[in-house]
Amino acid sequence: MQILEATRAAGLKRLTAFTPRMGKHYASGRNFDPGPDRHKDVSGLSPYLRRRLVLEEEVVAAALDAHGAEAAEKFLQEVLWRGYFKGWLEHRPGIWSSYREGLLRDLQALEQNRSLRRAVALAEAGQTGLGCFDAWSRELVETGYLHNHARMWFASIWIFTLRLPWRLGADFFYRHLLDGDPASNTLSWRWVAGLHTRGKFYEAKAWNIAKFTNQRFAPRDSDLAVVSEGLEATEPEGLPPLSPLRVPALPDRDAPGLLLLTEEECCPEDFQPGRLDLRGTVALVASHLRSPGMVSGKVQRFETEALRDSANRLGVTCETREAGAPGDLAAWAAEAGARQIVTGYVPCGPLRDWLDAAGPGLAAQGIALCEWQRGWDRAVWPHATSGFFKVKKAMPRILTQRPML
């Protein structure tokens, strides 16, 4: 099993190695899942992009410079999907709250239902008896990765064939995926279930699995459920209305500050924090916030190493602290003599929930929470209000701008 090094240097090396394949090779091979450690036609950059050890702008520039917009179109669209999902959830943060509340209910039901608990345990252990599904489940746990097509098949089988609660499946992914992202993960599972785009769901089909695994798996039609409708009936109220995008408070150059490093922004040097009056730096380990369950050690190690790499590149003395009681944040700032906490933008997700919970304590002590936000997000997110088509339509303008900061 390949062990990923969680550094910017390793991410850039991977970017350089894959750049020649961002054109026709990616377009023709991206849907095929050849199995663990054989993924040659997908980049493997997602764990680095997730933490911005490597930036979307850098990946886009490499693809455009090497292949041009037309030849690299499929690859460029995949880069935009991550930004689309983040922006969509920023416009509808209630969907994230609903997922978290529903997950707690599902976990409570799991405790009370022995047969459901056994079914979920077998699915997570890769012991359902359905060869392809079991192999993907083991691959996810052992490697922290699944090919995107396999994620769709897996989620469809979990929901429609095994008839397991979709939130438990999303939680299983989020606990184990090295590139696990609250927006992409939650909304992808919702899309498969027919909840993201109302009336549309994803049905895993035997012929499709056989074709795109190069016959590595060949399930029978009877192994998989025939799906005629999604789970829309479970959410009859539909989607919530759009909310305005949150505008973060910007750092005050003259106020004493505490720099907070998180996995949401592992290239803080781009924002030139040295121009600020920083009194200390804290690397916030927050992997455990992903789930009430046990988060994979691989995920926790990758995040911790990424934060360490960020601090090393900044050349700062850094304390590593775990996101425990939200009130700790105000205490850390006061301890450093800081009047503001400065960090990269934290979008909707568990860490945003933690920071929001810390807000009253910060306000009581007159400590501001300030965030840097990248131009990439400001360019993509306003278009992420409905389906992906609006972002796709805006892609030429977004790519021409090549927004950085």
Tens digit of each residue's pLDDT (9 = 90 or more) over 25-42: 999 999 999 999 899 999
pLDDT one-digit tens code per residue, 55-103: 999 999 999 999 999 999 999 999 999 999 999 999 999 999 999 999 9
For 120, the token pair is 């979920």
pLDDT at residue 334 is higher than 90? yes
Nearest CA among 117, 102, 110 for reference residue 170: 102
Q: Which residue has the tokens 């943060």?
A: 93
**Is 200 found in the same domain as 107?**
yes
Listed in sequence order, the residues at least 6 apart from 271 whose beta carbon sits closer than 8 Å to its beta carbon are: 344, 372, 405
- Domain holding 165, by residue range, is 100-234
For the chain, what percent of residues have pLDDT higher than 70?
A: 99
Q: Which of 234, 266, 288 is the last residue of a domain?
A: 234
Q: Does 175 reside within a domain? A: yes
**Is 368 found in the same domain as 386?**
no
pLDDT band at residue 198 using 50, 70 and 90 as cut-offs: confident
Q: Which residue has the tokens 């601090």?
A: 311
**Is 226 found in the same domain as 116?**
yes
**Is 105 found in the same domain as 57?**
no
Average confidence (pLDDT) over 222-247: 94
Confidence (pLDDT) at 402: 65
Do residues 367 and 333 make contact, with C-beta atoms less than 8 angstroms apart? yes
**Is 137 found in the same domain as 63?**
no
**Is 110 found in the same domain as 67?**
no
For 190, the token pair is 């919702």
Strand order in the sheet with 368-372: 319-322, 277-285, 256-261, 340-344, 368-372
Give me the count of residues in the chain: 405
Q: Does 322 reside within a domain? A: yes
Q: Does 95 reside within a domain? A: no
Confidence (pLDDT) at 141: 98
Other Cβ atoms less than 10 A from the Cβ of 261: the count is: 25
pLDDT band at residue 187 using 50, 70 and 90 as cut-offs: very high
- For position 128, which CATH number holds? 1.10.579.10
**Is 321 found in the same domain as 206?**
no
- For position 269, which CATH number holds? 3.40.50.620
Helix or strand (DSSP H, E) at 48: helix 46-50
Average confidence (pLDDT) over 377-397: 95
Chain-centre distance of CA 287, in angstroms?
12
pLDDT one-digit tens code per residue, 146-175: 999 999 999 999 999 999 999 999 999 999
Average confidence (pLDDT) over 174-201: 96
Q: Does 155 reside within a domain? A: yes
Q: Does 176 reside within a domain? A: yes
Q: Which residue has the tokens 């972002």?
A: 391
pLDDT band at residue 285 using 50, 70 and 90 as cut-offs: very high
The DSSP line for 293-323 is SPPPHHHHHHHHHHHHHHHHHHT---EEEE-
Q: CA 272 → CA 226, 313, 371, 373, distances in Å?
A: 54, 12, 13, 13
The contacts found for 13-18 with CB under 8 angstroms, 24 or more apart, are 14/43, 14/44, 14/45, 14/48, 14/54, 15/43, 15/45, 15/48, 15/54, 15/58, 15/59, 15/62, 16/62, 18/43, 18/44, 18/45
- For position 386, which CATH number holds? 1.25.40
Residue 3 DSSP symbol:
P
Domain count, the chain: 3
pLDDT at residue 403 is higher than 70? no
**Is 77 found in the same domain as 172?**
no
Q: Does 242 reside within a domain? A: no
Average confidence (pLDDT) over 387-396: 95
Nearest CA among 181, 234, 182, 227 for reference residue 200: 227
**Is 335 found in the same domain as 386?**
no
For 353, the token pair is 């929930």
Confidence (pLDDT) at 248: 97
Q: Does 271 reside within a domain? A: yes
Nearest CA among 404, 382, 393, 298 for reference residue 83: 382
pLDDT band at residue 1 using 50, 70 and 90 as cut-offs: low
Q: Does 266 reside within a domain? A: yes
**Taking the complete model, does pTM exceed 0.85, yes or no?**
yes
**Is 116 found in the same domain as 73?**
no
Average confidence (pLDDT) over 316-342: 96
pLDDT band at residue 401 using 50, 70 and 90 as cut-offs: confident
Do residues 184 and 82 make contact, with C-beta atoms less than 8 angstroms apart? yes
Do residues 88 and 183 make contact, with C-beta atoms less than 8 angstroms apart? yes
The four Cα atoms 294, 296, 299, 301 give a dihedral, to 10 degrees, of 100
**Is 79 found in the same domain as 113?**
no
For 298, the token pair is 């691989």
- When computed from its CA atoms, the radius of gyration of the chain, rounded to whole angstroms, is 21
pLDDT band at residue 400 using 50, 70 and 90 as cut-offs: confident
Other Cβ atoms less than 10 A from the Cβ of 121: the count is: 11
**Is 309 found in the same domain as 386?**
no
Confidence (pLDDT) at 199: 84
